[in-house]
Amino acid sequence: MTQFLNGLAQAAAPSGGGGGGLFGGGGGMMLPLLAMFAIFYFIVLRPQSKRQKELQKVLSELKKGDDVVTSGGIIGKISGMKDTELTLQLQEGVRVRVLRSSVTGLYAGAAAAKPEAKSEAKAS
């Protein structure tokens, strides 16, 4: 790590020769550093911001009756909504208040499980 920082400092410092500066002389180390940052951006940062925008869209479109999953793994149906919190019905007569920001998305398992249950009932 120390060698890397020393090399970076030498690359940025002006040298007495004509080839000094940021990209001259020992500055060839800056190009791989910039390439690593670009790769990091496209692999990590950009997809994360896309997911965050999609989640914000889902949270803004929530309505009563939607099945949702919270960050704690609780699955429930929205029975009430306020500005910053939701009331989830977990079971008949069991309601829990959660923050809207704790919702991680819509629960798709409920829609997928219902057709399977009907097809199994017909097969019996």
Q: For the chain, which residues make up each domain, given as ranges?
A: 2-57, 62-123
Residue 27 has a pLDDT of 63
Q: What is the CATH number that goes with domain 62-123?
A: 2.30.30
> What's the token pair of residue 66?
């939607």
Please, which residues bridge with residue 70 across strands?
A: 103
What is the rounded distance in angstroms from the CA atom of residue 108 to the CA atom of residue 49? 22
Residue 110 has a pLDDT of 54
pLDDT tens for 79-123 read 999 989 999 999 999 999 999 989 998 998 855 555 555 555 555
Band (pLDDT 50/70/90 cuts) for residue 68 is very high
State pTM to two decimals. Answer: 0.55
